[in-house]
Amino acid sequence: MKILKIVFKNAFRHKLRAVLTIFGIAIAVLAFCLLRTVVTAWYAGVESAAADRLVVRQSVSFIFPLPYSYLEKIKSLKGVTEVTHFSWFQGVYKDKNNFFARMACDPETIFKVYPEFVLTKEEQEAFLKTRNGCVIGEELAKQFHLKVGDHMPIEGDIYPGQWDFTVAAIYKKRDKNVDGSQMFFQHLYLDERMKVEAPARAGYIGWFVVKVADPNRAAELSKDIDALFANSRAETKTETERAFTQNFISASGAIFSSINFISFVIIGIIMLVLGNTMIMSARERTREYAVLKTLGFSSFHLIGMILGEALIISAVGGSLGVFLSFPLIQMVEQGIPKGMFPSFSLEPITILLAGCAALIIGVFSAIFPIQKALRTKIVDGFRFVG
């Protein structure tokens, strides 16, 4: 107990230096947690991709449409349990800065293929009965203070003109990684208007999503689907939902890889900060360590004292950094556009990495001071003037 008391007092003997070091570690851990949260949030969609879903898109590019007539051919393949489809609508709701996914869909099959969008049977029927009805996520409803029955006028860009939608239902998220800020409306509503205003665009959809009975046959079914439309005017490329999501975000992959790298560079910065503090502390106490050796303190005692001091400072700084990360990440979450990330929260793995990093750095920063204290002879310690 006396050794522990000495360790604690030594850690805070120079209060200003100890406090500044702790705050330096806390800020570094805070930055690490924030950057890692951005990375994990960006890839959350990939991690939550279902193994039993395939995405069928135009082989040239995702932006080119596919004929609606492909639906029945895909559905006829053995191993396919359900097929739904989407078309990216985009448009502007109130302001161009209000970004969230707006897509035309098949109201009869979307919730069979995507059970993570939770609606009651009555809500699904209300969506089916309302031709210009839309289903929005609970987070979107909260952001814009929308409720069932409200109107959502959208100015079209990809599909020009004024579009008036009525909120028919609000879906809930099955789990936290599900995007709760999307809007879906009936493809039939879009197609009927295209038949009048732009006949050449009618009868097309953006992409199909195929639910398969056996995820282990995903690769085989992908080849079978693409073979159906080989040498056609609109050949397809079929891939798992995970691969599709990865390709979709690959344009920003280099940026987020850099962020991920920087987050770990910060760990090195913490080590330099704490290492510098411990070296200064050990240098100042060279004569004290010589006195302790004279009094019979063993090498084990000296190691415990120096290591304990480093661990106390790193643990306090790391804990403070993690504690401050929660309100900071909540503030950032409120400031980013809804729909940019499915989920933006501090993950347990990030907390674990930050905590382990702080403790490991405490150990490594004590190595040099420990070596110096053990190697210094008692006589040289008494002669030292620092």
Residues 210 and 293 both lie in one domain: no
pTM given for the model: 0.68
Report the C-alpha gap between 71 and 83 in whole angstroms.
7
Residue ending a domain, choose from 187, 206, 233? 233
238 within a domain of the structure (yes/no): no
Does residue 134 carry a pLDDT above 70? yes
Report the C-alpha gap between 249 and 282 in whole angstroms.
49
Kindly report the CA angle at 365 between 359 and 370, in degrees rounded to 5? Answer: 115
Predicted confidence band at 249 (pLDDT cuts at 50, 70, 90)? low
Residues 208 and 257 both lie in one domain: no
Predicted confidence band at 151 (pLDDT cuts at 50, 70, 90)? very high
239 within a domain of the structure (yes/no): no
Q: Which domain holds residue 197?
A: 65-233
55 within a domain of the structure (yes/no): no
Residues 348 and 286 both lie in one domain: yes
Residue ending a domain, choose from 180, 202, 233? 233
Residues 94 and 24 both lie in one domain: no
Residues 30 and 71 both lie in one domain: no
Residues 21 and 70 both lie in one domain: no
Does residue 48 carry a pLDDT above 60? yes
Report the C-alpha gap between 306 and 291 in whole angstroms.
15
Residues 267 and 351 both lie in one domain: yes
pLDDT of residue 363: 82
Residues 175 and 321 both lie in one domain: no
How many other CB atoms sit within 10 Å of the CB of residue 26?
Answer: 22
Report the C-alpha gap between 40 and 92 in whole angstroms.
28
Q: Minimal CA–CA distance to 41: which of 346, 368, 379?
A: 346
**Chain-wide mean pLDDT for the chain?**
83
53 within a domain of the structure (yes/no): no
Q: What is the number of domains present in the chain?
A: 2
Residue ending a domain, choose from 198, 233, 268? 233
Percent of the chain with pLDDT over 70: 88
Instruction: For 204, list phi and psi in degrees, rounded to 5.
Output: -125, 155
Predicted confidence band at 253 (pLDDT cuts at 50, 70, 90)? low
Predicted confidence band at 193 (pLDDT cuts at 50, 70, 90)? very high
CA 376 to chain centroid? 50
pLDDT of residue 81: 94
370 within a domain of the structure (yes/no): yes
Residues 106 and 229 both lie in one domain: yes
57 within a domain of the structure (yes/no): no
Residues 72 and 208 both lie in one domain: yes
241 within a domain of the structure (yes/no): no
pLDDT of residue 47: 61
244 within a domain of the structure (yes/no): no
Residues 23 and 83 both lie in one domain: no
Residues 25 and 134 both lie in one domain: no
